[in-house]
Amino acid sequence: MRFDSPAGKNPADRMTVLGRSTPRIEGPLKTTGTAAYAYERYEVAEKQLIGYPLGSAIAKGRVVSMDTQEAEAAPGVVAVVTTLDMDRLPKVQWNIAYLFGGREIQHYHQAIAVVVAKSFEEARAAAGLIRVEYEEDSDSTYDLAAARERQVQETVEPISSVGDFEGAFAVAPVKLDETYTTPAQCHAQMEPHATIAQWNGDNLTLWTSNQMIEWSRQALSTTFDLPPDNFRLDSPYIGGGFGVKLFLRADAILAALGARRTGRSVKVALPRPMIANNTTHRGMTIQRIRIGADEDGRITAISHDNSSNTLPGGEGEEGARPTRHFYAGENRLMIHRPAVMHLPESNAMRAPGDTAGLMALEIAMDEMAEKLDMDPVEFRVVNDTQVDPENPDRPFSQRRFVECLRRGAEAFDWSSRNTEPGRLRDGEWLIGHGVAGAYRGAPAAASGARVRLRPNGSALVETDMTDIGTGSYTIIAQTAAEMLGLPIEQVDVDLGDSRAPVSSGSGGQWGAASSTAGVYAACVALRKKIAERMDVDADELEFADGSVRHGGTQTPLTGLTDGQEIVAEDSIEFGDFRTQEYLLSTFGAHFTEVAVHRATAEIRVRRMLAVCDAGRILNPLTARSQVIGAMTMGVGGALMEGMEVDQRRGFFVNHDLASYEVPIHADIPEQEVIFLEGGDPYSTPLKAKGVGELGICGVSAAVANAIYNATGVRVRDYPITLDKLLRDLPAV
């Protein structure tokens, strides 16, 4: 099925199952510990051996030699595979760093060996016995500030330039010119990267934890130089990903190499320090933002100049991305400067570009509002736009940002907020209120599914779509139930197996909207097959209560199968009209209240509100869960999360959950989420968009703005820790 015109009225519009708050159908399995994650798939392969990885102790250079004799002689060891045993393995474009093979070292903790043993303890102990000699390159730099100083002296091609920014900024009556920094951040998902691998001749099966099944199947084909059909991936449950599991990672390669060497099944999980230094992270940024406005508060000039670390061939964190489309302004200049560093790979992390970019932009918008003596909400309202600022001939398909701001201000009682920084107190605590806008695109990707109507009248949906804790099982079941007129209890869903039709996968805020559209397409195909059996037009059929109605007759679905399954398969493909004629995006507004202790600068977030404009919400319960989880991550980004770089050795020092701090229950207050009602017909046949990444966009800035409102101390360097406030707090 091709989606090449706006969605009209269709069977999904009934909203008898879709649109309802439905508990996650796999929830009981997860809460009882019976949902088997990758490392726990004990039943899938016999006599599983354990692999333990060894990572490089240098950030750039070469491996000269590796002495594995002691490791190979250690108790329980079955095999040792080293990077010197083979040439560098090929990679696909989605990976920036190479995953294994050869002498070259590109970053710290790059995998250089795997020890395979009978137990985890034996493998880990033996890995420590490998003696490695390195030749280290000493010309690497890991200082983004120093790289930025060099970069700004160089001419760079803007990623976007409209009008005459420099001229308009020079004559603007009110101006802002400030620089903001964000640190590297770690995904820190609960489930580590883990894989069980087993070869059968030239065919490899991986039971793994991966967001994008087909991407990794293609990557394995490239790496091992075998046809894609030789690889099967199975990933039914994933304990968090946030982007770090979009791509093939070292756990899968090491498990496959260990299994090939031993002729046995091998499982590998990356230790927590290797998740930080071997996989991917959100790149650090330095962002200069300049805004010029007239005295009425209308932006006349806006520029966002962003630098971010990356390995050679990467882009880093593209912080200027959201500024391109969020606010009005005729004269615009957007610049992105990748800074090559041999730190671990900087790649996708929840709302890449938008998260870090809005951490800066939404502080700048507040600072500009203060210069104009305007309410921060009203300043954003004044600079709303219903067309793409870079191309006024291309309208937004749907943009209700102003409504997000208005609804949020009313629900949060914004009119009663603290209006004078540092003046509102509650005992020993300074109280502040902050707001920030949220912006994220609404992409969609081709996605397929297979639907089986069983003889007993129940249905089975099969697709390689994944559930990374987002509720994919539930919204896919809801979609099929809606389309086939079944209660959700009569729909089973199989996810994450590469033997099923290729889906969009989970990532980029496209997963929910795309995968449900693929199920919609498969259900349309199934309805047509049923119509053919009944010798009627499919558009004349009504599916409800486990039956098919036509005219005055009602036929149970069980009476249509003749004891055999009816099977239909299809994919959704998206026409160019979505991106060429319209700009599809999601919007939101975040409001926060914080308390800062007037003597110690201890920060407490008291309450939070998010108002989201994301098309039709397929399941308000799971959507809310996504948004409050994203809001929690935003609090972490504002107050505590940041990976510290060892400038001499080129690695992230705080590479475990003891030293990389993330929010816990005590840090998270009352959270409220409001969804604006109404679907976007330009998005998908279901008129839905993603919301899981929108929820993090702007949150950190809302917290930062509230801290300023509480204390009068403006911090432009994340995370906002006590030391950045103490010196300048109002006198006790």
Q: What is the pLDDT of residues 492-509, one digit of tens each?
A: 999 999 999 999 999 999
| 372 phi, psi to nearest 5 deg | -85, -5
Both structure tokens of 379: 């300043």
CATH class of the region 2-35+444-579: alpha beta
Mean pLDDT value of segment 556-576: 95
Catalytic residues: 693
3-state secondary structure of 528: helix
On the question of a common fold for 2-35+444-579 and 396-442+584-728, the answer reads: yes
Q: Please tell me the distance from the alpha carbon of residue 175 to that of residue 468, in angstroms, as a whole number.
A: 44
What are the residues whose beta carbons fall under 8 Å from the beta carbon of 387, sequence distance 6 or more?
393, 394, 395, 396, 583
CATH assignment of 396-442+584-728, among 3.30.420.40, 2.60.40.10, 3.30.365.10, 3.90.180.10: 3.30.365.10
Q: What is the pLDDT of residues 610-663, one digit of tens each?
A: 999 999 999 999 999 999 999 999 999 999 999 999 999 999 999 999 999 999
Grade residue 81 by pLDDT with cuts at 50, 70 and 90: very high
Q: What's the chain's average pLDDT?
A: 97
List the one residue out of 528, 509, 549, 540 whose CA is nearest residue 683. 509
Q: In sequence order, what DSSP letters do the residues of 90-129 get, joined into one string?
A: P--TT-SS--S-SSEE-STT-EEEEEEESSHHHHHHHHTT
| pLDDT given for residue 645 in this prediction | 97
- Average pLDDT on 380-405 reads 98
Residue 138 is predicted with a pLDDT of 83
Query: Which pair of tokens denotes residue 518?
Result: 């693929």
Non-local CB neighbours of 267 within 8 Å, separated by 6+ positions = 39, 48, 49, 50, 51, 194, 195, 196, 197, 255
Contacts of 705 (CB under 8 A, 6+ apart): 362, 363, 366, 376, 432, 434, 435, 436, 592
Model confidence pLDDT, tens digit, residues 588-606: 999 999 999 999 999 999 9
Omega of the bond leading into 421 within 30 degrees of 0 (cis): no
Distance (Å, rounded) from C-alpha 254 to C-alpha 81? Answer: 8
Residue 732 pLDDT exceeds 90:
no
pLDDT confidence of 341, banded at 50, 70, 90? very high
pLDDT for 285 equals: 98
Q: CB-side exposure of 447: number of CA atoms within 13 Å?
A: 31
198-204 LR contacts (CB < 8 Å, sep 24+) = 198/44, 198/45, 198/259, 198/264, 198/265, 198/266, 199/256, 199/259, 199/260, 199/263, 202/226, 202/230, 203/230, 203/231, 203/232, 204/230, 204/231, 204/232, 204/256, 204/259
pLDDT confidence tier of residue 711, bands split at 50, 70 and 90 = very high
664 has a pLDDT exceeding 90: yes
Distance (Å, whole) CA 525 – CA 518 = 11
pLDDT of 532 strictly over 90: yes
- Residue 244's pLDDT is 98
* pLDDT of 274 strictly over 90: yes
User: What pLDDT is stored for residue 731 in this prediction?
Assistant: 86
DSSP character at residue 717? B
Q: What's the chain's length in residues? A: 732
What is the pLDDT averaged over residues 253-266? 98
Rounded to whole angstroms, the Cα distance separating 253 from 194 reads 11
Q: What are the boundaries of each domain within the chain?
A: 2-35+444-579, 44-138+187-281, 396-442+584-728
pLDDT digits (tens, 9 = 90+) for 125-157: 999 999 999 999 988 889 999 999 999 999 999
Going by pLDDT thresholds of 50, 70 and 90, the confidence category of residue 473 is very high
Query: H or E element: which one contains 308?
Result: strand 299-310
Can you name the residues that pair with 62 across neighbouring β-strands?
Answer: 104, 135
Question: Of 105, 108, 57, nearest to 650 (Cα)?
Answer: 108
Spatial distance between the Cα atoms of 656 and 663, rounded to a whole number of angstroms: 14
pLDDT the model gives residue 139: 84
Which pLDDT score is estimated for 429?
98
Structure tokens at 599: 């003597």
pLDDT at 449: 99
Structure confidence by residue, pLDDT tens digits, 444-460: 999 999 999 999 999 99
Which alpha helices (DSSP H) does 433-497 contain, by range? 472-484
Please tell me the distance from the alpha carbon of residue 160 to that of residue 326, in angstroms, as a whole number: 14
Residues 6 or more apart in contact with residue 311 via CB below 8 angstroms: 96, 97, 106, 107, 340, 341, 342, 343, 345, 346
For domain 44-138+187-281, the question of CATH label 3.50.50.60 is answered with: no
Contact call for residues 60 and 140 (beta carbons, < 8 A) = yes
